[in-house]
Structure 1
């Protein structure tokens, strides 16, 4: 038996510290009018925290799970049912082709930045191209994490490194009501990925890497690559059961494999090739299929030029804009070929000697 190692996490905070943290959300003097009601809410929140009341409402899993009597979060079950329906639509040959466009920039005009991003404009350019080809376009603007009220992508907790079966598909780490880790956007985002026949990611380079809003999503998609679709096999987050299950032999199901992808990576100083390479490697590891050389773009826009004039510089770079158009057209062509059975992964039938 390989036992989980212990001794890192901090102890639960005490009543006084809990009060300090709870109260920070209500510092505005306007809340003084409801201070008695807030005190009652705080008492309930503290009790849920002390008792680790992670799932707000649960119900028996039912006959489709390994342990029908185990109580699953109703929120998780609803997310899982949504993914099953999205997957069925995605595989239905009579449905319209659907491409998900993802804006990985953190900037928008509803936050402190005060201006839309060039990345968002690139996405809109590609969207117009795809819609002209009668393709359904879904958009995911990750900059909304910086401007929407109480919208979050909570960080990945690394369950997969304990044992792959502990990482559930879709993720069951959130919401965690005991820890006030709620309003997790990933519940919706998993459905967007599942429903799509292809994805195109548009991103700037921040400090030689992807922006944090994009990296949060990337980390949380680990459950799509080998994740366990049945949390009752580990009875929730039982690390020992997950380790035992993995050591019996785990199939590492790739839940998003077979979709096409494209990339538009741009920067103004350095790092574009490394980011594009990292994104390509990640997507292909998950089983996505590249749409050709022209679908993977990395370019400088305004190399060492003024930030203040970056939109004007983008306006003048017509060649780059055409390259963005080409990314969209390449992915559209790949989707058509995939759905007609003319495009596939040549190595799909090979057995990996070291699956993970």
Structure 2
């Protein structure tokens, strides 16, 4: 991409003004120790006090990434200290890309359950989204050379230490500040750990085809699905070299972007299917917004049969919604058809028969 219109030094100066969120030592330790309310910790007060002091030291000195190594010759600044966690995530993404590029490998299909509901937490019942996903999985497992992987986002609500931390909107400061894969987490000094996205990025990279099944929550996608979507912003224009901005150096990132940024689409070319279901309202809008998002980051619609919005138990009691699903063989068959369409499109693309008209045309506007 050619350089953009020159900007003045003041134009590139990062704006400041939001209040500090730094905690006092007493407040920090109160919050830290608040996670140890179970009586089992009662006899460990001395040990917990020592842990709280160590955690305060990490927080007070802002040790976000305490374990690093020199970046090495493949980066623009070989002497920059890169986080070991980020390097491991980058290697996992690279390995997944090799599997995606292998013409002799299986056709990788990623199925994503967007519902937070399961019987393993407060609702006490599996979600209809998960049951729809199982229907799709059964259909895909019958296809030759298909390898199916399931990403169940309900685990965020039911599994210990499973998190997707929120996007910090680095991209809005500068595209070059948004690293691929995301380098914002883990942040050990703030206790922002156990971030699932470093496992999720390779799933998306490896996949030939991706199916998302989600319920409607207040006219929108579910909160777990939206968390994942926001953290995938780095796949659409993200910077694969954190040393080029020396970590999160906003001014350097702005200057780099203004020299000309190519907005690499790291997931471009994969096929997608979207299924949105509701009980009263919003299914069409959710299906459309998901499809628009996926197309905007470079994915390709698998075909009309792969995009579905339906109502299950329309204006009927929630208590009998699963019974309504079981009495609706049409939606079950539509999901099977969507899965088979996704597989057929992925297989055709692998063989060079899937054509996306206009895909190679240069775009006059970048992100």
What TM bracket, shorter-length normalisation? over 0.9
Q: How far 1:9 moved relative to its partner?
A: 4.0
Aligned twin of 2:42: 32
Q: How far 1:57 moved relative to its partner?
A: 0.2
Aligned twin of 1:52: 62
Match of 1:125 among 130, 135, 147: 135
Match of 1:64 among 71, 74, 83: 74
* 1:85 pairs with 2:104: no
Equivalent residues in 2 for 1:1-356 (5 A)?
1=9, 2-134=12-144, 135-356=146-367
**Structure 1 residues 152-209: Cα deviation after superposition (integer angstroms, max 9, x where no partner):** 0000000000000000000000000010000000000001101111100000000000
User: What SS is found at the alignment partner of 1:202?
Assistant: strand
User: What SS is found at the alignment partner of 2:318?
Assistant: coil
Q: How far 1:11 moved relative to its partner?
A: 3.7
Q: How far 1:344 moved relative to its partner?
A: 3.0
Measured in 1, the distance between the counterparts of 2:350 and 2:69 equals 38
Aligned residue pairs total 356
Q: How far 1:351 moved relative to its partner?
A: 1.5
User: What SS is found at the alignment partner of 1:229?
Assistant: coil
Given the two structures, how large is their TM-score scaled by the length of structure 1? 0.99
Measured in 1, the distance between the counterparts of 2:37 and 2:277 equals 40
Structure 2: 5+ residue runs without aligned partners?
A: 1-8
User: What SS is found at the alignment partner of 1:72?
Assistant: strand
Q: How far 1:56 moved relative to its partner?
A: 2.4
Q: How far 1:345 moved relative to its partner?
A: 2.2
User: What SS is found at the alignment partner of 1:201?
Assistant: strand
Measured in 2, the distance between the counterparts of 1:344 and 1:154 equals 37
Two-structure CA RMSD over aligned residues (Å):
0.7
Measured in 2, the distance between the counterparts of 1:295 and 1:77 equals 36
Structure 1 moving runs of 4+ over 4 Å: none
Structure 1: 5+ residue runs without aligned partners?
A: none
